A and B are shown apart, each in its own frame.
Chain A
């Protein structure tokens, strides 16, 4: 397999679009983080006129609390989750683009024919391409995670003084984390978003292989996600009895639930406003949910190999 990995490296290293994705996403994440951190650091309560002394204390407490809570996402280790969540959409789209481009372009350029003639082991070729795709997504997610870990040392945000708080901060309209975020919790969030990115990569990759084009792959996968989402929502609102479990098996439903479960597990969210609170939702244990996603990914990846193995190379 070494020669296949080397050949793919020769192919990938000169693709500027791949490196824009892999390095650009962490850069975007850092930019968003720095912007957010700077605005959190400048959090001040504006007052005007003379304020009675009894209110001055309350205002000072609110200011301290607001500052403390605004600074929380930029303190290690929650900064990791902040950075990764800030790039979630880019990671998802980037992974999808990489799959569509690195698989679909082989067909649109016709180079799949040369590959098949020189190296007839199509499945080996695809396995190596998959390994490269996963590696590229891991590099992007890893870079974002690392930046999240080191960013608090570079961009310092004053944590404020939450002890000065005299009232329940939710009464000021602040979202209060139910528990301090640990490194483990932050990594659970990273893992959930990595899983979503890989799922996007696998789904778009399958569409690109089936429809033999990067753009068609992207489009078909997008249509699938929309249609599945609508169908699951409709089914959730109407299904009764055991049929209520059916929409819970949909890929997009499970991925959404995975992200929410990870946020709850990390202490970033109490779970209020989750899909679990929507009508027709049947909560599944997180491990069962993760198992369903694993089955989905294995099935979609198997289809990659079936599609390419059976494909006529008419390019």
Chain B
């Protein structure tokens, strides 16, 4: 089966500045793919390239097996790109019906699709109100409704919870979760790392237009996990640091605990570290695996930008 999104060697400059610099992406069908990066890292430009809104200087893009400029490919895609954009003098329902007409839906079908999409995002009660009077959060919900209008198989969401109140954030996350459960592919670009941690099975991290990490969210979090080894005395902790260094394992004192060392122990594992220390007569009072948060991994990968 072809990927939902496949990009190879994607490059796009604005003037002499490379906004996207050789990105390769492979988004499997049915996955919820998190796309992370600090402001200005090239996330929105990448999304615009994927959707055919911008043309790449170099590289190729396949969207559901076709070109992003094909009617047939885009017909299966729903997207939110940056700020919501609607005709302010039309109502929410009229806006969606207009886009349904552009999508070649017959009038009755388009009207029903508009009603359904507005219901999903909780805007049914204001469906007949002009969009010009909507708040940012309402417009963001309407953008979500537009993305869902054609019952897409691939949903590309650029900061979908921007401008939403906490209730709206929870609702939109619920909608994304529902999309994932129904087998649709979701490509989610966001600043909210907890969103990615909760929703995404794969994640890519972008930094200055380049991918600095890509893989399963679980693997990325494991990459940042550490062993926390606590001793009763400082002497024991110092001795353990020397033993670990001799075995080629770097350790550092933990900032949040007395006599505690943090060790990246991917290579040996916790039981091997325990055996190594016991062999030198050093018995830890406590040895636990500390899971990294996506936030710490993200900051590590992006140099805290």
Q: Which residues in A have some Cβ–Cβ distance to B below 8 Å?
A: 3-4, 6-7, 10-11, 14-16, 109-111, 113-121, 312-315
Q: Mark B74-110, 1 if CB is under 8 A from A, else 0.
A: 1001010101011111100010011101111001000
Q: Which residues from 39 to 65 on chain B have a C-beta closer than 8 Å to any C-beta of chain A?
A: 48, 51-55
Measured in the bound complex, the distance between the Cα atoms of B98 and A4 in whole Å is 10
- Would A118 and B87 count as touching, CB distance under 8 A? no
Please name the 8 residue pairs, one residue from A and one from B, whose CB atoms are nearest each other, closest first. Answer: A110-B85, A313-B53, A7-B101, A119-B102, A10-B98, A7-B102, A312-B54, A118-B102
Residue of A nearest to B54 (CB): A312
Measured in the bound complex, the distance between the Cα atoms of B93 and A41 in whole Å is 54
The total of chain B residues at the interface (CB under 8 A) is: 32
Known: A14-B90, A314-B48. A113 touches B146 (CB 8 A): no
| Chain B neighbourhood of A315, CB < 8 A | 85
Residue of A nearest to B52 (CB): A120
Q: Is the interface of B mostly helix, strand, loop or mixed?
A: loop
| Chain B neighbourhood of A314, CB < 8 A | 48, 53-54
- Would A14 and B89 count as touching, CB distance under 8 A? yes
Known: A109-B86, A109-B87, A116-B52. A121 touches B71 (CB 8 A): yes
Total CB contacts across the A-B interface at under 8 A: 74
Measured in the bound complex, the distance between the Cα atoms of B94 and A16 in whole Å is 16
- Would A117 and B79 count as touching, CB distance under 8 A? yes
Q: Which of A4, A10, A116, A119 has the most CB of B within 10 A?
A: A10
Q: Is the interface of A mostly helix, strand, loop or mixed?
A: helix
Measured in the bound complex, the distance between the Cα atoms of B51 and A120 in whole Å is 10
Decide if B69 is an interface residue (CB 8 Å cutoff).
yes
**20 A-B contacts (beta carbon < 8 Å):** A7-B102, A10-B90, A10-B98, A14-B89, A14-B94, A15-B89, A109-B86, A109-B88, A111-B86, A114-B85, A114-B146, A115-B102, A116-B52, A117-B53, A118-B103, A120-B70, A120-B71, A121-B71, A313-B48, A314-B54
Measured in the bound complex, the distance between the Cα atoms of B77 and A118 in whole Å is 9
- Would A4 and B87 count as touching, CB distance under 8 A? no
Residue of A nearest to B55 (CB): A312
CB distance from A206 to the nearest CB of B (A): 21
- Would B53 and A312 count as touching, CB distance under 8 A? yes
| Chain B neighbourhood of A10, CB < 8 A | 90, 94, 97-98, 101
| Chain B neighbourhood of A114, CB < 8 A | 85-86, 99, 146
| Chain A neighbourhood of B70, CB < 8 A | 120
Measured in the bound complex, the distance between the Cα atoms of B111 and A6 in whole Å is 14
Measured in the bound complex, the distance between the Cα atoms of B101 and A16 in whole Å is 21
Known: A110-B85, A312-B55. A117 touches B104 (CB 8 A): no
Residue of B nearest to A5 (CB): B101
| Chain A neighbourhood of B83, CB < 8 A | 110
- Would B102 and A4 count as touching, CB distance under 8 A? yes
Measured in the bound complex, the distance between the Cα atoms of B102 and A76 in whole Å is 45
| Chain B neighbourhood of A15, CB < 8 A | 89
CB distance from B101 to the nearest CB of A (A): 4
CB distance from A24 to the nearest CB of B (A): 18
Measured in the bound complex, the distance between the Cα atoms of B256 and A22 in whole Å is 73
Measured in the bound complex, the distance between the Cα atoms of B90 and A7 in whole Å is 13
- Would A113 and B85 count as touching, CB distance under 8 A? yes
- Would B51 and A117 count as touching, CB distance under 8 A? yes
Measured in the bound complex, the distance between the Cα atoms of B53 and A114 in whole Å is 10
Residue of B nearest to A15 (CB): B89
Measured in the bound complex, the distance between the Cα atoms of B237 and A248 in whole Å is 93
Measured in the bound complex, the distance between the Cα atoms of B79 and A312 in whole Å is 17
| Chain B neighbourhood of A3, CB < 8 A | 101-102, 104
Q: Which of A15, A110, A117 has the most CB of B within 10 A?
A: A117
- Would B74 and A6 count as touching, CB distance under 8 A? no
- Would B98 and A117 count as touching, CB distance under 8 A? no
| Given A10-B98, A114-B99: 7 more A-B contacts, CB < 8 Å | A3-B101, A10-B94, A16-B89, A115-B102, A117-B77, A314-B53, A315-B85
| Chain B neighbourhood of A16, CB < 8 A | 89
Measured in the bound complex, the distance between the Cα atoms of B102 and A6 in whole Å is 8
Known: A114-B85, A120-B69. A313 touches B74 (CB 8 A): no
| Chain B neighbourhood of A117, CB < 8 A | 51, 53, 74, 77, 79, 81
Q: Which of B55, B68, B99, B146 has the most CB of A within 10 A?
A: B99
CB distance from A90 to the nearest CB of B (A): 23
Residue of A nearest to B89 (CB): A14
